[in-house]
Homo-oligomer: A and B are copies of this chain.
């Protein structure tokens, strides 16, 4: 293996895959980055057996890639990425000598890093002959961003740590719930295959960090055990979560007793302040009271103090309501909605309530109440 390349191009490729490097592992090869130098490209891969990221570099005027000899090596990710970052901003040459010892050099600097036989690196899952689903990068990022926060953090019920992704009748739906809140977001597609999978929420959040901004295309592939997202030269592999995702369709209320319209920033500020005082309580309990045209948001803590504020109601239908809830959950939901105007629908103090962007049914946030005490 021997090639030379502009430093920055290699740094970028290593940066892209680094999120899939195993952090705590007893299998040393998984904490490495695989470089495969072929006739006309370099393939850079990291794979911790849960998440795999692979990107490729082909020669351009900018990166000045010159391949002299194909071959492959696994290098310790932490050192390899720091070594190349700390090199002067110039052409660097890499080649593997005896015993997997790898030289990384510029005109004045010579690094040698102990590598590992590329044969030891695990194979990425195979996706031959699988239907693909096509999406825009910003649409996919938004589907993830508006739902992933609502997945469960604990492994008590593993399937809830994933986002349930369903494609049916040309509608793609993302659903996440930890049992106390639920977020769902759907978009219309054309010519989409029918499929369903539960993909780890954490992996999808990592995916958003490497998705290009704007309307670049992303292809999704699915097998029984893995999903694959391809955008540009980068491939993102995740394992799926086993188990049946709960049927959440029934818990989304179809009617309501109260419907309010409020300004998004005012509501966000009020919940943010109330959640601050509620922070030390078990369930971050924040209260809303709607009486006629006035909404009061409040919380109190015996040790810290209390807060109470009024939020203007732009429009109200139905009855007055008093309800308590986890302020942190509503804060997450409001941040995900990022709306100038919010529509909130209640069914009394003991039923879950719905928050949506006014005039937009594509994203729905459902929050369980906390009982009064």
| Chain A residues within CB distance 8 Å of chain B | 76, 79, 82-83, 86-88, 101-102, 108-114, 269-270, 272-273, 276-277, 303-311
Contacts and interface: CB of A to CB of B under 8 A. Distances in A.
A310 B108 CA distance: 6
Contact of A309 (B102, B109, B270, B272): B109
11 contacts: A79-B304, A102-B305, A109-B273, A109-B308, A109-B309, A110-B307, A112-B307, A113-B305, A114-B303, A114-B304, A114-B305
A276 to B, nearest CB: 6
Copies of this chain present in the complex amount to: 2
A310 B109 CA distance: 7
Contact of A305 (B86, B111, B269, B310): B111
Given A108-B310, A109-B309, A310-B108, A87 B273 contact: yes
Contact of A307 (B109, B276, B306): B109
Nearest to A298: B110
Contacts of A273: 83, 86-87, 109, 111
B276 A112 contact: no
Contact of A304 (B109, B113, B269): B113
A309 B104 CA distance: 12
A106 to B, nearest CB: 8
